[in-house]
Chain A
């Protein structure tokens, strides 16, 4: 439910929050995808259940209680910690991942909901030690300070540039409105995302 088209015109932080609010309700009922897979979500748990997640092209089998979020499953069960927990209720974007091509707040998505989907995290962008062009642009423009929000911003920026290679200033601002930074890097982040070098090496989705 947190998977919303965040880069589309007219989509703001405010509407995002509304949809996340609705998501909390929807998460408890049977989604069409799960029904199609024959998984009885209503019967899962309360104890740990085996699940399979496809993260950055790799399959992970793990056992989690149905209430465990995708964020916590990655951070505390799989030690994938680039993604951060900050607000834990879909308001700050530090936990942003790309699931089936769309950015989501992984703190507001259950791990069991993410089965069968292609999950991409910040860890997927770097080829060896070579930074992704967006990561490189963040470094060049000093688009990070304490760095705690940075992975979320990078994921949102990559998702934007994969969809919109040459965003306008307004498009870039909108796409990044779901991410909160407290040190105040916004201006530098915007410069980084609008740097033509940032989008030059981005694969188009």
Chain B
């Protein structure tokens, strides 16, 4: 069983280590999938459905195929089959072409003749729920409600001293990864090599090989660098399957990368959430019960589940009825902490409203209602740290009493996430006779710094500087590691690498001990030397030791070590905002983030992860919204000028406190820092303007409407 070195002996673990691929990325020399050009490579483009719901009667590729430069064209809908000839959302793939240039491929798309039978569509949950709505989905437009119940919520609400009631909503958010989905497929006989922008090289091989009907052993997936995924790139994407089919047809490598509009439409989003909530407290400020009707849409045939209430504050009695509503829009996919930001926003806004009814400070109210502290639920302690940092003592009760249109306010919210590793993770570490070291593991670096962690743990184990070891990742020829989702990667990878590196190092000790006349168990590897632990003088340099391997290198396997990781992170965030009640514009002045990740591996990149999560949370809070035209079902902002992700001037100072818990194992925090930001901002806005805005995004329009509603007698 592997173990972490004692804290005092750690040379790299827990320190701020610069990411290894910083130089190659900042020079523009890192080759992403989008950048790779293979000899003789063709460029592919997709013909997408312009209709949100239609039957494809026929697809005529003949004119496109005759265009000079076009080398392959394929139909993606089986028009003879009534079940598979339909499209259910704008952008759905209908046909594809590969040509010598992308411009020719685009021309060829315009030559494809498609006969459509346009069918009635549903562009919103409201349309889908109308009794007269057309039956669009084979399973029905609305699922049977799922019930969850504990205790007698109805009775507990009746007995409550105060009850808050309202409708809370969150919008659809798109991932907007900067590198779009896609890949390059190249056949060599029956073998396929695919360079793919993916969060899961092994998952991609699994899905694509199955779709193509080829043995997985015949396929290799490579992802050296990738430009963001956030949950949308976890599987065997259809773009890769299409590129492989076109490559087969054309007899040449084919690159298919989606354009920005397609990226918004067809490769996933965070579903919307609606909750009609009734929540109560007793006169002492203890939560009594919550009763909620919830729904949402994950697009065409996809669920919109989210945990509710958010599992931080225990409500003794709970009742919830949830239904998924299908509309003719791109299907949802996992998106950074699926379900959590929605649930956190709704629950934390309700918490502040309850505190207001009690005339209690919302922080004090939260402290009264938190479960007992445990290493993975430290909200009480973190709320106190955050309150100190944001200056909570200066907070005024709801509604800034200052005169003038600029109102200031503060709010807070909590988060939780599991972040445990995957027991299936495997890796291997090789020590070569010339002293070079490489660890191979079939994970991928999605921007979190995984490559750096692999090298850090290897170097730490061998007692070598970081530059002396190599990290080989992003290749299905390397042992299995899970897809980078659920924040599982850091725990999966670090423990597996530690195990493999320890095994390789111990094998080296065995092979050199005889020449040193010592027991291998007495040896350690430190400061570039292999020596007797109690007598640093008695030993060899690393190179001398490795030379003893002769012509036979060491390759040792490693597997996930449950004792090196653990489960559960907790965190809190605070926001300090300014709202102009004449324009409705919110300016976030500062965000405080307190988060733990168990034992910190790389302090620098873990803090960056927190900052990045807050920034994406600000986008969810204030700007981002997939807007569908209610008549046409078309997304009206499938671009980056009207789908607003935060920019440099939108970002306030973000103060991160990363709590180290060196006695715990490693926990992933790719997702949790994004969860609480919108809720903290939402509560801060209400604290500033004295009016609740119960829906995201918190746009100027939403703020002004809420103020206006309040003037006319409340919600």
Contact = CB atoms under 8 A, between A and B. Distances in A.
B178 A148 contact: yes
Nearest to B43: A76
Interface in B587-644: 604-605, 607-608, 611-616, 639-641
B102 interface: yes
B608 A131 contact: no
A168 to B, nearest CB: 13
B401 to A, nearest CB: 30
A135 B27 contact: yes
Given A142-B605, A186-B615, A150 B26 contact: yes
Contacts of B27: 82, 122-123, 125-126, 131, 135, 151
Interface string B28-65: 11111011010000010000000000000000000000
A139 interface: yes
A85 interface: yes
Nearest to A121: B28
A91 B23 contact: no
B23 A75 contact: no
B710 to A, nearest CB: 30
A176 B646 CA distance: 12
Given A138-B22, A147-B225, A187-B611, A79 B37 contact: yes
Contact of B227 (A143, A148, A185, A186): A148
Contacts of A186: 615, 646-648, 651
Interface string A94-132: 100000000000000000000000000111011000010
A182 to B, nearest CB: 5
Interface residues of B, number: 56
A115 to B, nearest CB: 19
Contacts of B179: 84, 86, 146, 148
A67 interface: yes
Given A125-B27, A147-B25, A87 B640 contact: yes
A151 to B, nearest CB: 4
Interface in A147-161: 147-151, 154
B34 A85 contact: yes
* Most chain B CB within a 10 A radius of its CB, from A182, A187, A190: A182
A179 B640 CA distance: 11
Contact of A76 (B29, B32, B37, B640): B37
Contacts of B247: none
A184 B593 CA distance: 14
A146 B37 contact: no
A174 B25 contact: no
A122 B28 contact: yes
A35 B715 CA distance: 63
Nearest to B615: A184
A142 B23 contact: no
Contacts of B645: 180, 182
A84 B32 CA distance: 10
A59 to B, nearest CB: 21
Nearest to B35: A81
B259 interface: yes
A52 B31 CA distance: 26
A139 B21 CA distance: 9
A139 B22 contact: yes
B616 A184 contact: yes
B653 interface: yes
A54 interface: no
B447 interface: yes
B608 A145 contact: yes
A138 B23 CA distance: 9
A199 to B, nearest CB: 16
B23 A139 contact: yes
B650 to A, nearest CB: 8
B578 to A, nearest CB: 16
B361 interface: no
Contacts of A75: 35
B18 interface: yes
B206 interface: no
Contacts of A184: 611-616, 646
A140 interface: yes
Given A126-B27, A135-B26, A146-B226, A189 B648 contact: yes
B28 A81 contact: yes
A162 interface: no
Contact of B641 (A17, A72, A131): A17
Interface in A7-21: 12-13, 17
B649 A183 contact: no
Contact of A144 (B26, B37, B607): B26
B28 A173 contact: no
Nearest to A82: B28
B178 A139 contact: no
Contact of B26 (A67, A79, A138): A138
Contacts of A94: 178
Given A82-B27, A176-B648, A182-B228, A76 B102 contact: yes
Nearest to B611: A187
A145 B448 contact: yes
B644 to A, nearest CB: 10
B210 to A, nearest CB: 28
A125 B260 CA distance: 29
Contacts of B176: 182
B654 interface: yes
B18 A139 contact: yes
Contact of B639 (A89, A126, A135): A89
A177 B30 contact: no
Contacts of B31: 81
A177 B649 contact: yes
B178 A182 contact: yes
Given A81-B31, A147-B227, A88 B102 contact: no
Nearest to A126: B27
A195 interface: no
Nearest to A179: B648
Nearest to A170: B649
A58 B491 CA distance: 47
A183 B646 contact: no
Interface in B241-282: 259-260
A194 interface: no
* Most chain A CB within a 10 A radius of its CB, from B27, B37, B612: B27
B640 A147 contact: no
A91 B18 CA distance: 30
A81 B26 CA distance: 13
B103 interface: yes
Contacts of B225: 146-147
Contacts of A135: 23, 26-27
B180 to A, nearest CB: 8
Given A146-B227, A147-B25, A190-B648, A88 B259 contact: yes
A179 B645 CA distance: 11
A146 B101 CA distance: 28
A131 B639 contact: no
B337 interface: no
A183 B447 contact: yes
A151 B226 CA distance: 14
A83 interface: yes
A68 interface: yes
18 contacts: A72-B102, A75-B35, A79-B37, A81-B31, A81-B32, A81-B34, A86-B260, A142-B607, A146-B228, A149-B178, A173-B649, A176-B648, A182-B645, A183-B228, A183-B612, A185-B612, A186-B615, A189-B648
Given A92-B178, A146-B227, A185-B612, 8 more contacts: A86-B640, A89-B260, A91-B639, A122-B27, A139-B19, A139-B23, A150-B28, A185-B611
Ranked nearest first, the 8 interchain pairs of A and B with the lowest CB-CB distance are: A82-B28, A146-B447, A184-B612, A148-B227, A184-B615, A147-B25, A139-B22, A122-B28
